[in-house]
Amino acid sequence: MGLDSQMLKPAKRYALLLVDLSIGFTDPARSPLAAPVDAVIEANQTLLTAFRSRGLPVFFSTVMYDSPEQSAVFREKIPVLDILSHGSELVQIDPRVSPLDGEQVIVKHGASFFFGTDLAERLRQQQVDGVVVTGLTTSGCVRATVVDALQHDFRVLVPQEAVGDRDQGAHNANLKDMGIKYADVVNLEACLSLLA
C-alpha cells in the first residue's frame, strides 16, 4: 500500500528560512559548490518582499567553519566544504538577497538549519508555528532542514521554484519525497496566497 500526500493545515504565523543562499552556493564562477540558480534567487526575492511587507520573520543560514574539528566527518565526505572558512567571501549571503538590518544570519556547521543552532527557540520566541523553507540544495541542506522543522513540530511549506540543486534528478526526487512525508511542496503562487 502506497503513501498518499496529505496537505497540512496552514500555520498561523510563518517564518521564511533561506538556507545557504551564500556566494559559495550561488556563484559557479567562484565556487565548485555552486550551480546556476538565477531563477531560485528571483523566487527568493519575491518571497522576501512578501515576508517583509507583512512583518513576518526572516532567517538566513550560512555554512562556515572556524576549525578542523567542526563537522569533521561531513567535511571528510565532502572535502570541498573546507572552502567555506571564516573570513571567506564565499560564506557571505548573495547580495541579490541581502539581509536587512534586524534579519538574522545563523551560522551552521551541518546540513540542517536546526542542527546545533538555536533556530527552533528563536522561531518560538516569535510565535512562529510554520516555516517556508527555501534555498540550496534541495537534496542536501534544504531536505535536512525540512525534516528537522517537522520534527520540531513546525508546519512546513517548500515553494518549488525557490529551491535548487546541482543535480536535477536529485532535486525532483527529493521534492517528491518531501511532499509525501514531511512538507507541503507547492508552487510560489500558492505559497504567497497562504501568506495572504
Overall CATH class of domain 14-195: alpha beta
The catalytic position among 141, 149, 157, 163 is 141
Q: What is the pTM of this model?
A: 0.95
Q: What percent of the chain has pLDDT over 70?
A: 97
| DSSP tag of 81 | G
Q: 25-54: b or e for each residue (b if 16 or more CB lie within 10 Å)?
A: bbbeeebebbbebeebbebbebbbebbeee
Q: What percent of the chain has pLDDT over 90?
A: 94
Question: What is residue 6's predicted lDDT score, i.e. its pLDDT?
Answer: 74
141 is catalytic: yes
